[in-house]
Structure 1
Amino acid sequence: MAAKPHVIVVGAGIIGASIAWHLARDGARVTVVAEDNGGVATPCSFAWINASWGNPEFYYRFRRRSMAEWKRLAGELPGLPLEWCGSLSWDLPPERLEAFIVEHGAWGYGIERVDGDAIRKREPHLANHPDHAVVVAEEGAVEPVAAARMMLADAKTRGATVIDAAVRGLLRTGERISGVVTSAGVMEADHVVLASGAGTAPLTASIGITLPIETPAGLIVHSRPHGRRLNGLVMAPELHMRQTSEGRIIAGSDFGGGQPGEDQHATAEALFAKVKAALAESQSLAMDFFTVGYRPTPKDGFPVIGDVCDGLYIAVMHSGVTLAPLAGMLASSEILQGESDPMLAPFRPTRFL
C-alpha cells in the first residue's frame, strides 16, 4: 500500500482549517502549523456568507457554488455553527440597488423586493424602517472561529496533527519546496499549503515569488450577549449588523469593517452608538469589545488558489468565510488527485507571476 502523502498546512484560520479537514478526510497525512488556533483575520470577520453585489459573473458563480458547499459541509460536520438567516439590504443608492436586483435576479440569485410592512415583520426591532429594501433569503452567517476550530478538531480525529509554532521560512530542495522552517524545527512534507493570509506574501517573497496582497484594516464592534434584536443580516447605509448565536450583535460601517482612525476606541464608541440608535429598546445594549482586522486581499480582489512552484500551493482570499468550504474541497482534490476544476482558472497565482 502506498504511503499517505504528507501535507503541511500553514495557517489555522477558516481557510487553513477547511483545507486541512478536507485533506484529512480525503486520506492525506496532515500537519497544521500555526501560532493562532482559529487564525488571525478569521476572528475579526463579519462572517457573512453570500454571493452579493459588486462582483463579475464568474466570481458570483464561484461564491454561489461555495454557499452550496457550506450546506454539504454542515451535513458532514453536524453542529457546525451555521445559520441561513437571510439578509435585508437597503445600503445602495436606488439606481444601484435596482441594478443589483436585475443583474443577480437574471443570474438566478434568490433576491426579492420588499416593502415597509414586510420589513417591519422581518425586523421588528429596527428603530427606523425603510420604505423599500431587498431580501436574499439564501444568505447566511457562520461563527468563524468556532467553525475553524471544529474542523481542526475533527481533522485531528482523522489523524491530523496541529502544531503551535511560527513558520519562519520554506525548505527548498532543488526547484521543489519540500517543507517549512519553524520555531519548533524543520518539518519536511510532500506538499506545503500556505493558507496564512497576510503572512503568505513574506513567505513567498523569501523564495523570490512576489504576490500583491493588500491588508486593509476593518474595525468591527461586538456587544455583550443580549436578547434577540435581529433576525437576520441587516445591511443599512453605513451600518451592517447581525446577531450571533450567543446573542452578540456585531457591526461594522460595512461588512468588512471601517477604518479604525487614529483613536480606535473613539471610532468604536461612535460606531456602537449608531448600533444603539438603529435598534429600538436598546438601552441595555452594551459594547463588550471591538476588533481591528487586516483582511488579506489580493490586489485585484479575487482569490489566489493553486501551485506557485513544485510542492507549494497557495490559498489566500477575501472573502475567506464565504469561500472556505469550496477552497478546501478543490485544494484537496488538486493536491491529492491532480484534478483541476475549470472554475479555478481565473484565480491562479500565475496571473501575478
Structure 2
Amino acid sequence: MQTKKIKRREFLLTAGAASLTALNPLRQVSAAAPAVERVIVIGAGIIGSAIGYQLSKRGCQVTVLDKVGPAAQASGNSFAWINASWSDTPDSYFSLRTHSLNEYHRLSEELNLPIRWGGALEWYHDADSTSEMTDGISLIQKGGAAAKMINRGQAADIEPNLDPQSDYLLAYSPADGAIDAQAATFAMIQGMLDNGGELIAPAMVSDVATTRKRAIVSTDIGTFDADLVVVAAGTNANDIAHMAGLKTDLLMPATPGIIVKTRPVEPLLNTVCYTTNSHFHQQADGRLIVAEKLNPPETTTHLNFLANQPNVFPNSEFAMQHAKRILNTAGFYVPEIATVEPERISIGWRPLPLDGLPTIGHVADQSRIYLASMHSGITLAPIVGSLASREILEGVRINLLEKFRVERFY
C-alpha cells in the first residue's frame, strides 16, 4: 500500500449550544509546559482528528499520522451514540461528557457535522438493572440533567414504532444524539488540512523518543520531529505510550462488537434505542445503525480469528449471517428493522481504560508527550479537542481535566 502525504484540498470527503468559552473552566498555569509550534498527532480517529483540527485553528503546524487512515479503526466502526446518560462513573466524568454535548452543538455548526439530536431511550428486562438505572437517573437529575424515567405509554409518544417488550420503566435522555462518526472524523481532518496541516497514512509508528527540545517519531516510512507528540492511538494506545516511555498501561484488552449499517430507509426511529441485547438508531441520511456486543464461543477458530482485531469478517456469507441475526434481534423491538437490507457489516474494537475513565494530559516526566486515551471518544471528541489544544499551546492545566491525568495510575 502506498503511503500518501495529504494536504488541504487533496483530501476529499467520502461521507456525506453553548460555546466552550461560555463554560470558562478554571485553569492553572503550568510552568513546565514547553513552547509548542509544531505537533505530531498519532492517530486519525475522532479524538486525534479533533485535537489536530483545534490545534491547526490556533495556528499550530500539525501532522497527523495513522497506520491505516482516518476513522479506519474504532471511530469508523462505532455505534456512535453521543451521550451524557446515567452511569456509575464519578461526577467529574459526567460533567466532562455534558460539556462535550454542549460543545458538539457549536462544532456542528462550524463543520456541518452529520448529527441527529433525538434523545435516547434505554431499558432492561429485569428489576435489578432497572433499579440501578433509576438510581443513576435520580443522581444526574440532582445535577440538573433533563433525563427521566418514563413508562411504556410515554415511550410510545416519543418512539411510536418501538415495542420495548418489557413492562419496566425506561430512561429517557432528551439531550443525547447520534453521529456519523466516519463523516465527522473526515470533516475534522479536512478542516485541519484547510488550516495548513497534513495527514500521512499509512504510516506505522515504531518508536517515539524525546529530547529536551524535541519529540521524534520513527515510522516505517521515515522519521518526523516536532515540539510535542499527541498519542491518540485508540486501541493501540498502550503500545505507543510504552514507546514514549510510559511505564504503565492505559487500557485493558479491547473488546469487539458487531456494527451493521443498513441501506437508507424512510424515517423509522427518532431516538437512540439501547437495551441488553440490541442497540439501534437512525442516521440523518436514513441509514440504520444496529449493534450488539460480540461474545463468540471461545473456540480455537474464533480466538485465532479475533487475535489480530479484524474489522471485517473472513467472508461475506459469514458476515451476512451475523447481520441477519442482529437485525432480527432488533426487529423484536421494531419489526421493520428485520426487513432492512444490510449495506456494511463490521467489527468494532472498543478501547477500554483500566478504570473506565479517560486519560488526558501531559506525561509528568515527558513534557513533550500528551496523552488522549478513552473509551467514549465519540462523545468526548469536541471537548477533548478544545481543551487539549489549550493545554498544549497555552501551557495551562484545565481543572475540568484534572481527574483524568495519567498520574492516577502511579
* TM, length-normalised to structure 1: 0.91
Which whole-Å CA distance do the structure 1 matches of 2:353 and 2:338 have between them? 41
Q: Shift of residue 239 of structure 1?
A: 1.5
Residue number in structure 2 paired with 1:319? 376
Is residue 278 from structure 1 mapped to residue 333 from structure 2 by the alignment? yes
Which whole-Å CA distance do the structure 2 matches of 1:168 and 1:189 have between them? 15
Identity among equivalent pairs (%): 33
Which whole-Å CA distance do the structure 2 matches of 1:84 and 1:168 have between them? 37
CA offset digits 1:238-273 (Å, max 9, x no partner): 2211011222221223xxx33355497454432221
Q: How does 1:1-353 map to 2 (within 5 A)?
A: 5-34=37-66, 35-54=68-87, 55-77=89-111, 79-91=112-124, 93-127=129-163, 130-131=166-167, 132-174=169-211, 178-209=215-246, 210-214=248-252, 215-253=254-292, 257-261=293-297, 262=302, 265=318, 266-282=321-337, 284-308=339-363, 309-353=366-410
Q: Secondary structure at 1:278's aligned position in 2?
A: coil
Aligned alpha-carbon RMSD (Å): 2.2
Task: Check conservation: 1:219, 1:258, Cα contact below 8 A.
Answer: yes
Q: Shift of residue 207 of structure 1?
A: 4.2
Which whole-Å CA distance do the structure 2 matches of 1:231 and 1:185 have between them? 48
Which whole-Å CA distance do the structure 1 matches of 2:347 and 2:197 have between them? 31
CA 1:112–1:58: 2 relative to 1, 3 Å = same
CA offset digits 1:87-118 (Å, max 9, x no partner): 11223733223212311111211113333332
CA 1:187–1:273: 2 relative to 1, 3 Å = same
Q: Shift of residue 295 of structure 1?
A: 1.2
Which whole-Å CA distance do the structure 1 matches of 2:94 and 2:259 have between them? 25
Q: Shift of residue 156 of structure 1?
A: 0.9
Task: Check conservation: 1:120, 1:129, Cα contact below 8 A.
Answer: no
Moved more, 140-149 or 218-227: 218-227
Q: Shift of residue 223 of structure 1?
A: 2.1
Which whole-Å CA distance do the structure 2 matches of 1:173 and 1:46 have between them? 36
Q: Shift of residue 85 of structure 1?
A: 0.9
Task: Check conservation: 1:260, 1:267, Cα contact below 8 A.
Answer: no
Task: Check conservation: 1:171, 1:177, Cα contact below 8 A.
Answer: no
Unaligned runs of 5+ in 1: none
Q: Shift of residue 128 of structure 1?
A: 5.1
Which whole-Å CA distance do the structure 1 matches of 2:148 and 2:241 have between them? 44
Aligned pairs, number: 347
Task: Check conservation: 2:44, 2:69, Cα contact below 8 A.
Answer: yes
Which whole-Å CA distance do the structure 2 matches of 1:241 and 1:67 have between them? 20
